[in-house]
Structure 1
Amino acid sequence: MLKALELTGFKSFADKTRFEFPEGITVVVGPNGSGKSNVVDAVKWVLGTTSAKSLRGKEMSDVIFKSPNQSSRRDVNSAEATIIFDNSVRILPLEQDEVRVTRRVYRSGEGEYLINDEPCRLKDIKNLIRGTGIGADAYSIIEQGKVSRMLEASSKDRRQIFEEAAGISRFKAKKLETLRRLDRVDQNLLRLSDIVDEVEGRLKAVRNQATKARRYKEYSDRLQQLRTQIGLAQWRQLNEQIQVFDDQIEEVETQSNELNLQFEQSSQAVSEFDIQLERLAGDLQRQEELSAGVREKIAESVTTQSVQTQRLEELANEIARHRIQLAVTQSGVGGIANRLSSTQDDLDESQNRLAATQSQLQILQDQQADLQLQANQLQIDTEQQRESQVTVTKQVSDAESAFNQLAATTETLEHQHQETSEQLNRVQSTISTLEEDSARHQEQAELLTAALNSAEEELEVVTREVADNRHVYSRRQENLQALTERLTAVRERSNVLEELETRNSGINETIRHLLEKQHSTDPGDDSLGVIGLVADLLEVDFSSANLIDLALGKNTQLLVTDNDRLLDACRIGRMQLESQITIINLNNIDSSFQPLTLEDDPNVVCRADQLVHCIDKYRPLFFMLLSDTWITQDLTSAQQLWQRHRGQIQVITKAGERLDHHGVVTMGPPDSSSEIISRRSELRNLKQDIYILEAQVQDNRDEQERLQANIEQQDSQLNNLREFMQRKRTSLHEQQVNLQRCLDRLEIEQKQQQNLDSGLRKIQAQQTSTATASKIQETELATLNKYLQEINSSLSRFTKASHELERQNQTLTSRAVQLRVEAGKSEQRVSALKSQLQQYAQDHEERQTVVEDQAQLLKQAQLRHNASTMQILTATSRIAGHYLTKEQYRETTFAIRDRQDEIGAERKREARTGDKLRKEMDILVSKRHEIELSSGELRSQRTTLEERLREDYDIEISSLQLDEETEEETQQREEVEREIESLRRKLNNIGAVNMEALGELTDLEERFNTLSGQFQDLTLAKQSLEKIIQRIDADSRRLFLETLETIRQNFQQLYRKAFGGGQADIILEEGVDTLEAGVEIVTSPPGKPAINISLLSGGEKALTAVSLLLAIFQFRPSPFCLLDEVDAPFDEANIGRFINVLKDFLDFTRFIIVTHSKKTMTAADTLYGVTMQESGVSKQVSVRFEDVGTNGEISDDAVRRDAA
């Protein structure tokens, strides 16, 4: 509910003004140009009006008060208006019981909005009041121009009022926002599709680059490992040399510390001597200061003795002077006491005469008071009679008006009787038509419901199938991605191994040349009999390959032949070998060798040759090489087995550890370049895995394509079903609305029929009651006229009595003046005597005080004389004591000076010892500096090594754990250097490498997956937004039709009530979508045929518009309704009907009416007046009915009464 309106500097309201709006009807009146319509403008302005034209201005700053010419007022810099709502029933979506909405604008053009004194936006205020019927352009504010514009507006513009009442304006805003979001989603989908294609192309290119980068990284890592190994050896050597110099520095440091300790002890002794000397110097200074203090005290005491002696003489003279003054003062006190007694007798006589005069004056004043009481009572009686006169006069006027109204009512009832009969015939014909339409709509609605239920069941089945297929498709996609990634990794590993095989990596250079020569030799030529390497003649499971590599060791590169031609060629020099090779002739193998039988040993897993697969031709070869090698579970079992068969077997653990025939243990990760058998076994496994993975990838792709086709088909089916259901729902809703509309109209027409039947009986009863009421009203009017004559007679008598009382009061007033003059003279005499008596008493008291002061001064002078005598004796005693203390201080000073000389000699001896120690320390510092220079050179070399490793490989060598270098590591350094050189050549041969491709590949894959997911999310979001728009349209269509039908019924009832009959209807434009259709209004005033709205009279137009707006109010009440001079076109009868209609809404709405009509004022519960006493400045005044003229002018009495 609207509670109050506060204005400050708004338009003509220069001063702060508050309008309270209690329950009921509040009427604001005032003459033309007084500013009463500014109250309406203020409400519109606060609620968000941004058009200065609608506020009757050119620009928004025109709402700020501007002082008129020749006015003493100054312009204000801002305008402010606040609307206060009672929110106890939570009409507004806030938790406060009172809500304040404020708008403020400054002359600079800046403005602000506030809710409960908190800054906000205009959008926040509109959201706050949306759907409540409150708003600058809503139906809660009805202006005279708005009434005509609503009737003359097009059907499309008129529709907006009904949309606000239906509350679908928020749906339209939500739909507009959803359409914007849908447009953004479409744009994002288009952009994202291009990006996904671009990323996918880049991903394919980067994968090729990453394969090359991985190979480069393997070589680089190995190179880093070897360079780090060399660097660690150099670091270890430099550390050992630095440590030698550090030990020397530590030795020198020890010697230096010993000397430093002795030097510190010597320095400490010197410091102690210095402290003692300093302490003695302080003691000597204090003794001298004490002696000086004693000398000063002696001088001070002598001075005090001299001063007190002089003071003693002065006090003796002062005592003699005070004794003389005391005797003179005591002699003058006696004369003043005699004059004081004589004056007291005169005062008593004057006071007696004054009391007699005041007694006579009091008697006259009592008589005047009695007369005044009688006059006041007479004045009260007169005012009461005058008020009765005004009341009875108004009652006479009201009775005459009521009598005239009854006559008009009688005429109206006769006209209504005739119209009601005609309406009854029309209603019966309408009922028959509506019953037929209802049956037809009911049948069509049942058919549509059956079709819709069937479609919903089919939709549910298809939706489940689509969800299942999407779930399966998602799993297939995840499997495909995992298989693709695994296939890529396997292929890359296989490519690396194949390249190593192609280059015969890890094989002796000479053997490689022999094998190449053997392969290139024509089979018909003389062959060297080379079969191949041992590693070429066997196959091993990948899980056991590393064990066979370890068991064979260097024998993996054993060259196998079937004759001795190779040996002969080497022996006669026909073939030159670049490096050492090992050859075995299959024909020379001793097959009679019998190995140990250890299968039953619990520590044994198997014999090594049992893990090898080969043709029978080569079985003796591997039996010879591996039959003495046994496999165990762990190193402990291997050691136990080797101990039992020392020197006869070689033992290998599953973890890759080896104990050879001599007990030498080999452990740790193997060199990948020497694992030829493991490499070939892994390559065979990888090729099998590639074949299997390729088949699985193809199967998954085929399955995905099949699922995708099914999903697309089912999606199309779902869309068709949804469109079919939407069409059916729309048709069903339209049929239901039509059916409900027919039923509602049928119910209304049936009720109207009943109302018309009873209406004829009521009209006859009303005619009878109206005639009776007219007779009663006539009798009451005669009684009131007689009572008015009696009141006039009483007023005449009261006037005569008032004149007589005034004459008696004048006589008493004259006598009282004479007595007041006599009393005044007596009071002056008494006052003079009291003043003289007071002066004498004051003189006597002052002289007595002087006597006491003289006696006190004499006593004080005697006391000071005695005190001075005592101070002289005390000063003499102190002088003697100070001379004794001075002699004691002089003896102590001589003793301190002797002690200073002794300590100074001891300090010089200790200082010479410290100088000798400092020279020895300087020699040690020079020696340490030489050692540190040598150590610094080594540290510089170590730092260079550390920085090189840090810059090249980001290795902090200082943080690594360093072990002592073994003899074996020293021997292998040359091999490491050669391998480093080989790796550098390989890196150069690879060429340009994009190392960032490895990281970019991961990023691209993640980005591709992310973008693909976003693309799917946007597609789903688009579908969701389209569904939201469909739902908004359906809800808006339903709410609008329901609202329109309810308002239509309300309008028909209110129209008949406002016009006392007639018909009106609201019709929706046909052949147009419900969400776009215009709204037409058809009316038929009583006694007139159906005519166009433009042909109605001004009063009929206004009453029709008000009826329509109040019909909207009845459907969706607003907390308040502001009516700005809408009753201007009405005559007296129409105003009465208008007021009767408003009273039906007072339970839930507060009405504020700006008007000139006195008829409208009679309905007011609260009445405000607006006037302009000061030019251009509106002022609110409280007025009564009789204070307002016919043109809204307010009487001067009301203005003066309000000011008082």
Structure 2
Amino acid sequence: MYLKRLEIYGFKSFANRVRIEFDKGITAIVGPNGSGKSNIADAIRWALGEQSPKTLRGGKMEDVIFSGTQTRKPLGFAEVTLVLDNSDGELPTEFSEVSVTRRVFRSGESEYYINRTPCRLKDIVEMFVDTGIGKDGYSIIGQGRVEEILSMHSESRREIFEEAAGIMKYKLRRDEAQRKLQKTQENLVRVEDILAELHQQIAPLESQARIARQYMDLRERLKILEINQFVNRYNRYVNRIKGMKDQIVLLDRDIFNHREQLNSDEQAHNILQDKIESLRIEIQKHTESRHELSRKIENAKNEMRLVGEKISQYMRDNQRLENEIKEHEIYIQQNQSRIEAFLQEKQANDGIIDMKKIKLNELSSKAARIQEELSDKQHQTEIRRKDAVQILNKIAEYRNNIIKNQTRNENILEMYNNTLELIDKRTNEKVRLKSDEQQIKDKLDNIQAEKDIIVNRCNELKAKIEKNKGSIHNKYTALQAGRQRLEGMKSRLQLLTDMSKSYEGFSRAVYRIFETSKKEKALRDRICGVVAELIEVPREYELAIETALGNSLQNIVTESEEDAKYIIEFLRKNRFGRATFLPISSVGPRELTQNEKKALTLPGCIGIASRLVKFDPRYTGIFENLLGRVVVAETLDHAIAVARKYGYAFRIVTLEGDVLHPGGSISGGSSGQRNTGLLGRKREMSELLAAVEEEESNVNHQQNMLQEKEKECEELEHELSRDEKKLQELELVRVTEEEKAQHISSELQRIDKELAELQDNANKLKEESKQIQNLIENQLEEVNRLEAQNEGVQSVLESDDLHLKESIKQKERLESQISEIRVELASLEHKSMAVNQQIMYLESDIARYEENIDKKQEQIRGNSNEIKEQENVLEAHKKEIEIRQNEMEQIFRILEKNEEERIKYNSQIEALEQKIREVNQIIGEIIERKHHFEVQLSRLEAELENLMNNMWEEYGITYNSALAYIDDSIKPGSINAEIQNVKEKMAALGEVNINAIEEYKRVKERYEFLEAQKKDLEEAKEDLGRVIRYITRQMEERFSQEFELINQHFQEVFSQLFGGGTARLLLEDQSDILGSGIEIVAQPPGKKLQNLSLLSGGEKALTAIAILFAILKRKPTSFCVLDEIETSLDEGNLDNLSRFIQEFSRDSQFIVITHRRNTMQVSDVLYGIVMEEKGISNIVSVRLEDRAS
């Protein structure tokens, strides 16, 4: 067996579908750091069942799916397929080629396949057990596996040795047996606990069952008595109801006769009413005219009063306005006198201000001249001080620079000599690299020309494949969603089917009857069905009908009472419980009365329950009996309104399951789950069957479309694979040569740049040395000049300070005089401003008063004109009042005549109304008597209905059925006393557990069953213990034997790898072979024997590799993946390792992920991992024997 092919799609950096073909021998996978070559080992490990994201170098399992780049979108799933050649039959399957596929989606869903057949992860793990292949085997060895062997914890090394020893299958069997033993022990404890509990229950249950049987006998006697009482009361109610109905018919006839006479009187009454109405209209018209005239006269009088008041108001306003004008004129004269006084004061104050301003300007000009002179002197002095400081700083700076420059010149001369030596060395190196570069460029030009032709064709194929993959993913997602929906529907359908077959939701008695009827034809032929199965109810009425029927849904319909009796005897004989039967021959319909049917026309009434459902016509009597007197209403409010109107005479149910019972009681609230599904179960099964059929057709169609698309994609991939294989061989050569060219080019560029820099640096150093020497001489001359200059500046500064002090004193005296004048000037200006404001205010006030005088004079003229107009209006109103009063007198005479006629007609109407009242009184009395009889009739019918309902709910029988229970020996007069006696006996029994009979039987049977179970569990426990001990012995013997052989091989391989030395493996605890840690002791050549932890890093790695090859020598695995295990080895040890890999490749296939040249040289096939597009790994390959030829 060997690994034949690896297919990767969407795993980590492999965004494109990659197929790697492997042959026997050594295959090397190379590539630069970060190219994704270690993802090959991760892909193999993941396909074999690795579940730890950390082992796969991720944070979560979703991280293995290609996450996208700047130019490529993320993928929705990752898939890896391993194809193994099984022609030697090493794997437990008849196939010569085995493919293992693992797929994971971003949703977290995983799929596993063996030969494209869905399977479990456990199936894959078990198939590779003890082959060395697997996530925990030694077929995949990376740095992590080497570190496990090198770990300080000797116990953690056991797994790899157990796999090599071939005891994993025994370990799995032992673990499974131990789990079974644990489960058996737990079951045994549970059984013992249950037995102890049941033992405590049996004695009390036996006593309860005895009391329950006594109670059942008394209850049966009570039933006979109450049924006889029911028949007697039923007969009395029927006789009374018949008498009531006869009385109502006679009263209806009397009402009809009196109403005929009443109609004649009412016609005569209506004629007189029409005449009176005509008179009333005419009287009303004249009355309205009279009222209109009165209103107009009153309006005219009111207008006259208003006009008089307006004239008086205008005259008063004129007098007030004339007085206000006189007051304004006096005020204006006073203010003009004040303005003249203020003007004289302002003129005197302005003269003083002008004089002060002239004096202030003179002093300010003088002070400004002094300030300007002072500023110039201060500025000159500050400049001289700064010059002095700068001179001193420059002197210090020049002296420091002289010292620095002298030291720097010495260093530059030394660097100049070293640079000249390095220029000679780099010039010789450049000549050699130029020759190598030209040879590589010629070779690359030939490769690129051949490669460009193939690349264009590959790009076209990739675009087509990518488009098909997107379509495949979408179709696969749709297919999975369809399958999930289909499975959900099938599960629900199967659940409903099982519930229907097992009569889930029915009572124990009903379940027993139908279970037995499947075997006994005599019982089956007597059953028509259960009520819930014989009725079809629209979805919207299911809750209402379920509520109306209640427990009657479980009633069994039979052809005759004899059939019902037969089944009752069957239940009694087998103690299966009780059930209610509805014989077609005896159960008759019950309907609403004609009067009650009128309720169906009321708002919110949907209809009679029996008319809203479907059933076989032969069961009409049954369902009319159950639902014929049940009305369905929309809401509880509607139901209450109907019930009140008809005196709570029949039952009403609402769509929400509320019930109004005859007599007035109401049931409602949360419907819970009572009998839920008995009516809807059959309907839901029918709907699900249709939906399953439709969904299956849809899934099959999607499956076919997906297969066609996958086939098309596979053909394109095969075509692409052929082109890429051609391209890969060229690409590997190009990459290798280009890397050499790039390396040489970068070296030449580096040398040229370095030579230019060195030459430039030498010239600069030489020139810089000369400049520094000149600079030192110039700096010495400058220091001498600056010291002389500093002495002259200091003398001038002393003279400047004396002149500045005198100028400052003179300036301060002038500023004091200016401040005093400014204060006086501000006071005078403020006073002048206040006088101006007073004058402005007085002038504004005079203008305002003059304007008011003009307005008031205009207002007086307007009022005088308005007085004249109002006097004219007053005269017009007086004339209008005289005309209206004449019209009023004419209307009064007409109204007196109309009133006389109205009185005459009213006397005639009163006589007729008296007669009509007498007839209505007679009819009312008759109707009242009829209503009294109807109320009594409704009450009697409701009481009869309640009586029948009570008997039906209590015993499930009708009046016809009850006749079969009549006992002539029971005297009607003594029934009540006997019923009371039986009830007292039942009460004396106390609280009775009716279920105790069945419970006692069930508990006893369960106790006996568990006793047998306990015995079986104890025997199974002993058997499992023997199996575990046997497997443990087998494991110890096999591990001990294999460990010793691996130890021997380890000593040989260690000596060969190290070129001498000794090493061995030790069990830390010989008494616990299967639990002992494994210690590694090694003695490289020339060193003492010591523990692994004391070796160097390279020695540790080589020792771990020696253990791995020792295991492979003892038990070769079909293929072995080595992931950069030689990283820490030097060249000598690397040669030894390469030689071992080449030697072992005769028995095992090696896939080596490496970047070391020695390992590449011993490989048969070389695959390169490159990232032509950033973030996306691709494969290039070449056979080394082909390349060599």
User: Aligning the two structures, in what range does the TM-score lie when normalised by the shorter sequence?
Assistant: 0.3 to 0.5
Give TM-score, length-normalised by structure 1.
0.35
Give TM-score, length-normalised by structure 2.
0.36
